[in-house]
Amino acid sequence: MIEILSPAESQALLLSLRVSAVAVTCALPFAFATALFLARPHVGAAGRFAGKTLVDGIVHLPLVLPPVAVGFLLLMAFGSRGPVGGWLLAHLGIRFVFSWTGAALASALITFPLQVRAIRLALEASDAGLGEAARTLGARVFDRLANITLPLALPGIISGAITAFAASLGEFGAIITFVSNIPGQTQTLPLAIYAALQIPGGEVQAARLCGLSILLALLFMTAAEFAARAARR
């Protein structure tokens, strides 16, 4: 399929793309809901203001915590003997550890604040008066959400998703801590680079993967710019 790449390289590349795509897509609805909550003007009640500050802090935690710490926390919670992971394995047969789904979960968590921030900014920038106008024209709450709020936030949603996708391609610490470094299963591009550097004389291999990463990052950042511009029109 991709002839200039070795089978191992294309395996790492495809796995990276799959992990990031699943991570961003699954996190998006939650990110939108969180951004909606955070962007709403806090009316009166001090309790709601405090709640908002708390949620804002928790959402941004993965951005400031060392990724290794996030991976470790995930391992504690979602490991086969962890409270959440154990339950999921026993009742639904879902396993995160040593699996690409675990890598996706770690990526989703790490890039979640990026999505929330972008969507929140778009929501805050759109005119609240438009929602009022829609109300007086008979649009109820979910109607307004689908036909006014969502389309107006679309540039933010798209650029947030693409930025999160690009960042997710580079995630290392949380993935290697949570789901280890298994070729074909959890070995994404950055983990493959790390693995190549562990082998004597693996620098050439590492450099090739590095170049591939740079190419991908540039591609997606440019795409984000174009998509946001197109959606704004």
Partner 1 sequence: MSVEVFLRHRSGAFALDVAFETRGGVTALFGPSGAGKTSIVSAIAGLTRPQQGRIAVNGRVLLDTAARLWVPAEARRTAVVFQDSRLFPHMSVEDNLLFGWRRATVKAEAASIAHVVELLGLGGLLTRRPRGLSGGEKSRVALGRALLAAPDMLLLDEPLASLDAARRDEILPYLERLARETKLPMIYVSHSVEEVARLADEIVVLKDGRVSAQGSAFDLLTDVNAIAGVPPLGAVFEASLAEQRADGLSLLAFDGGALAVAKLKRPLGARVRVRLRAEDIMLAREEPRAISANNVLPCVVSALRAGGDQADVQLLCGATRLVARITGASRARLGLEPGVAVFAIVKSVTVEREAG
Question: Which of 93, 137, 198, 204 forms a contact with partner 1 (CB under 8 A)?
Answer: 137
Q: Residue 122 interacts with partner 1 (CB under 8 A)?
A: no
Distance of CA 197 to the CA centre of its chain: 27
**Residue 164: closest CA among 101, 211, 80, 227:** 227
Q: Residue 142 interacts with partner 1 (CB under 8 A)?
A: no
Nearest distance in Å: CB 189, partner 1: 37
CA dihedral 103, 35, 64, 70 (to 10 degrees): -30
Task: Round to whole Å and give the CA distance between 155 and 153.
Answer: 6
Task: Round to whole Å and give the CA distance between 2 and 7.
Answer: 9
Task: Give the DSSP letter of residue 178.
Answer: H
Q: Which two tokens stand for residue 88?
A: 């999921």
Nearest distance in Å: CB 144, partner 1: 9
Q: Residue 184 interacts with partner 1 (CB under 8 A)?
A: no
Of 53-61, 112-120, 146-154, 161-169, the window that binds partner 1 (rule: CB under 8 A) is 146-154
Nearest distance in Å: CB 151, partner 1: 5
If the CB atoms of residues 90 and 146 are measured against partner 1, the closer one turns out to be 146
3-state secondary structure (DSSP) of residue 180: coil
Q: Residue 203 interacts with partner 1 (CB under 8 A)?
A: no
Q: Which two tokens stand for residue 25?
A: 């897509």
Question: Which of 7, 54, 125, 143 forms a contact with partner 1 (CB under 8 A)?
Answer: 143
Q: Residue 132 interacts with partner 1 (CB under 8 A)?
A: yes
Q: Which two tokens stand for residue 181?
A: 């470094």
If the CB atoms of residues 64 and 137 are measured against partner 1, the closer one turns out to be 137
Cα torsion 208, 210, 213, 217: sign: negative
Q: Residue 135 interacts with partner 1 (CB under 8 A)?
A: yes
Q: Residue 138 interacts with partner 1 (CB under 8 A)?
A: yes
Task: Round to whole Å and give the CA distance between 100 and 167.
Answer: 17
Q: Which two tokens stand for residue 207?
A: 């450099």
Binding pattern for the stretch 26-65 against partner 1, x by CB under 8 A and - elsewhere: ----------------------------------------
90, with CB counted inside 10 A (0-12, 13-18, 19+), is exposed
If the CB atoms of residues 68 and 152 are measured against partner 1, the closer one turns out to be 152
Q: Residue 136 interacts with partner 1 (CB under 8 A)?
A: yes
Q: Which residues bind partner 1 (CB under 8 A)?
A: 127, 129-130, 132-140, 143, 148, 151-152, 154
